[in-house]
Structure 1
Amino acid sequence: MTQSDGDLDSLVRKRIRALRLAQGWSLDELASRANLSQSTLSRIENGQRRLALDSLVTLARALDTTLDQLVETAAEDVITSPTIDATRGQMRWPVKADPGMSVIRQRMTEPPPDNPARMRAHPGREWLVVLSGTAVLLLGNRRIRIETNQAAEFPTMLPHAIGAEGGPCEVLGIFDRDARRGHQRGDSGGADTG
């Protein structure tokens, strides 16, 4: 067994124990849910029993996770640098857990467009939090003020646009795969989170 195999083995054992404790379960309770004996689970957690694929699959199910998540290794690059778009006042980060998602930090100075034709609609979901200032979200026929530290989540099939109110604001937006693609296709440089 190589050093990295030993590290992965130790990581998986720690992960099983941490997930069990996060659920508030005793060894006995998880063992029962996974159809294992309490002593087998104890030996798995403390490294006295070999990690077998069939046990890992059963434990992953009992812990409401996947085998992939249970055995995934830590990413080498913990820190991600943003891509900066100075013309739009945006910084964009990819989300490693789901390459289709992205996070955008945007500084806005203009109010949302008055023209409903400039509002966008496309498949997906967006989440945003106002970091500073006040943002206005136009969502269908609604006008929603979002203050500093408030958040919004909405389906992007509703026509939408966002802008600042009463001065500049900074917004952190999270876009699922479909929302990100919708904004990339319709990118016109107007006041919007994408």
Structure 2
Amino acid sequence: MDAELAQIGPRLRAARREHGWTLEDLATRAGMSVSTLSRLESGKRQASLPLLLPLTRQLGIRLDDLLPVTPIDPRVRRTVERRDGMVIAPLTLEHSPVQTYKVTYPATEAAPAPRVHDGYEWLYVLSGRLRLALNDHEHIIERGEAAEFDTRMPHSLSATGDGPAEVLSIFSASGERMHTHGAP
């Protein structure tokens, strides 16, 4: 926490300099003494809300802009799900605007019943052969091929009978709920 607070002064100084202002310019605009602002920027005076608010208002920045960005762990550590013979591995963080999964479909001779729901899906076949039943037509998507479709059309996905299929699937939010969590 002390290391974060120590960055307030240099960030304040940088914001002031971006405006091309002297210590006196900003101090006058913020209604404080030049020495107070100088001590804030040099870290010799502890920052407080009553001191920072007029400064940030004059500089047109937020208080958060004076603090370092907290690094987030970019690794995806979500639980792999197994359902109806499928293995569903999340590849994006839970709150990402678009959800991506690696789905392994088990071999099956027949396509499951088609479903319709709001959403959009893009997929890419990593291995095996994927059966995409879409609007009463069956398409076999081979390894290295991609497909995209509006999930408001009747559709189902499954591997063919000759073996499992590994697929990267990208869903809009509503498509993700239906495909990875099952029908409501």
Closer, same or farther: CA 121–169 of 1 in aligned 2, 3 Å: same
Q: TM-score, normalised by structure 2?
A: 0.56
Matched residue type, 1:49: E
Closer, same or farther: CA 172–112 of 1 in aligned 2, 3 Å: farther
Q: Once the two structures are aligned, what percentage of the paired residues are identical?
A: 26
* Secondary structure of residue in 1 paired with 2:72: coil
The correspondence of residues 13-28 of structure 1 with structure 2, limited to 5 A, is none
Closer, same or farther: CA 136–75 of 1 in aligned 2, 3 Å: farther
How many Å separate the matches in 1 of 2:143 and 2:11? 42
How many Å separate the matches in 2 of 1:176 and 1:80? 18
Residues 1:123 and 2:121 aligned together: no
Matched residue type, 2:78: P
Matched residue type, 1:134: R
Query: Equivalent of 2:168, from 172, 175, 189?
Result: 172
Residues 1:161 and 2:156 aligned together: yes
Closer, same or farther: CA 90–6 of 1 in aligned 2, 3 Å: farther
Show structure 1 runs of 5+ residues with no match: 10-43, 55-72, 188-194
Matched residue type, 1:109: P
The correspondence of residues 65-144 of structure 1 with structure 2, limited to 5 A, is 73=69, 75-87=71-83, 88-95=86-93, 99-111=96-108, 113-114=110-111, 118-144=113-139
* Secondary structure of residue in 2 paired with 1:106: strand
The correspondence of residues 146-157 of structure 1 with structure 2, limited to 5 A, is 146-157=141-152
Q: Which protein is bigger by CA-based radius of gyration?
A: 2
* Secondary structure of residue in 2 paired with 1:80: coil
- Per-residue Cα deviation, 1:109-129 (whole angstroms, up to 9, x for no partner): 2237446xx211100111111
- Equivalent residues of 1:103, 1:174 under 8 A apart: yes
- Equivalent residues of 1:129, 1:149 under 8 A apart: yes
CA RMSD for the aligned pairs?
A: 3.6
* Secondary structure of residue in 1 paired with 2:178: helix
Show structure 2 runs of 5+ residues with no match: 21-58, 62-68
How many Å separate the matches in 1 of 2:10 and 2:153? 47
Q: Which residue of the partner structure matches residue 49 of structure 2?
A: none
Equivalent residue pairs, number? 132
How many Å separate the matches in 1 of 2:172 and 2:110? 23
Q: TM-score, normalised by structure 1?
A: 0.54
Closer, same or farther: CA 179–2 of 1 in aligned 2, 3 Å: same
Give the C-alpha shift of residue 135 in structure 1. 1.0
- Equivalent residues of 1:107, 1:170 under 8 A apart: yes
Matched residue type, 1:103: T
How many Å separate the matches in 1 of 2:11 and 2:140? 47
How many Å separate the matches in 1 of 2:177 and 2:10? 38
